[in-house]
Amino acid sequence: MLTKIQHAAIVSENFVREAKFYEAVFGMKRSKPGSAEEEKAIRTNYAVSISDGYVGVTVIGRKPGYVPGLHHFGIDVDDVDGAISRIKKKYPEVAVLKRPSNRPFATYGAHDPEGNYFDLTQEGMTNRRDVYVGSGREQPRRIHHLKLRVMNPAAIAAFYCDLFDLQEADKSLEDSNYYLTDGQVTLIIAPWKMSDFEGAGIDRPGLEHIGFKVESVEDVKKELSALRETNPEMRERIISEPSEGERRVALIASCRHGQHQCSSPDGVFVDVLDR
């Protein structure tokens, strides 16, 4: 089954600003900036979608009960009915839910055995729109990986490999993570341990950070610095206690792919690595 990791979603307190951050720093683009449809989405606190030409990111306005930050990811398959049949046969405890038609990517929603939610769709579905339709493009800065922390990484990695034919990349014997790739984007399945947060605020299991591959990490660092100076609203979130901030950044920096770590204005951790 042909599988592509082509969607991520962020819940944001200021979703317009959050989208502009990824546009300014990583060159992501909206399909119809300034359109009546987009203006309505902004007025109603709905969402804005941006893309690197392969992965679309929908930045969702926070509603009551929503938890801000990286929320879920999405998988595009060549046979969505076949994927659902696999899920029901091999993992009958996993629910698959038809999503409302106003979602620009999701046709169905499902979850892994630990409850991590993902969207599921197929090219040509009637709800697909915005940055999720049309021909792809290449750009020098693109999404490279998403990191998901779970209680049982071996079982969760097996779930995604078994159902969606993602390929497991090589790793060292001492590496406790699993690296599942569609050939373009990698889903890192990592263990969640409360002890990892000793001396810092504790995050629940779930998506930890998003990683971008760029033509020059040093250029990105300079641009981030300049952006913070010219537009204070674009500054990354600061953790009030320095020692806690150092502990959290060190945890993100343990990713084998990361070379520089920062956060978006809404506090989403971002990893940056050279091509």
The pair of structure tokens assigned to 132 is 């999720």
Between CA 170 and CA 198 the distance in angstroms is 30
Reported as a pLDDT band with limits 50, 70 and 90, residue 8 is very high
Burial class (CB in 10 A: 0-12, 13-18, 19+), 232: exposed
Greatest Cα-to-Cα distance within the chain, rounded to the nearest angstrom: 54
Helices (H) and strands (E) in the chain, counts: 6, 14
Percent of the chain having pLDDT more than 70? 100
Between CA 223 and CA 218 the distance in angstroms is 9
pLDDT value for 135: 66
pTM higher than 0.85: yes
Count other C-beta atoms under 10 Å from residue 253's C-beta.
14
Do the beta carbons of residue 83 and residue 120 sit within 8 Å?
A: yes
Between CA 97 and CA 45 the distance in angstroms is 24
pLDDT value for 226: 95
Q: Is it the case that residue 114 has pLDDT exceeding 80? A: yes
Between CA 17 and CA 232 the distance in angstroms is 11
Percent of the chain having pLDDT more than 90? 84
The pair of structure tokens assigned to 266 is 């809404």
pLDDT value for 235: 87
User: Could you give the strand order of the β-sheet that contains 108-111, starting from the edge strand earlier in sequence?
Assistant: 47-51, 56-61, 3-12, 69-77, 117-122, 108-111, 96-98
Between the two ends of the chain, the Cα-to-Cα distance in Å is 28
When mean pLDDT is compared across 37-51, 59-73, 89-103, 227-241, the lowest value belongs to 227-241
Q: Is it the case that residue 275 has pLDDT exceeding 70? A: yes
Task: Report the chain's mean pLDDT, rounded to a whole number.
Answer: 94
What are the two backbone dihedrals, phi and then psi, of residue 233, each rounded to the nearest 5 degrees?
-65, -20
The DSSP H or E segment spanning 70 is strand 69-77
Residues 6+ apart with CB under 8 A from 34: none
Q: Which residue has the tokens 């984007």?
A: 185
Higher pLDDT, residue 197 or 1: 197
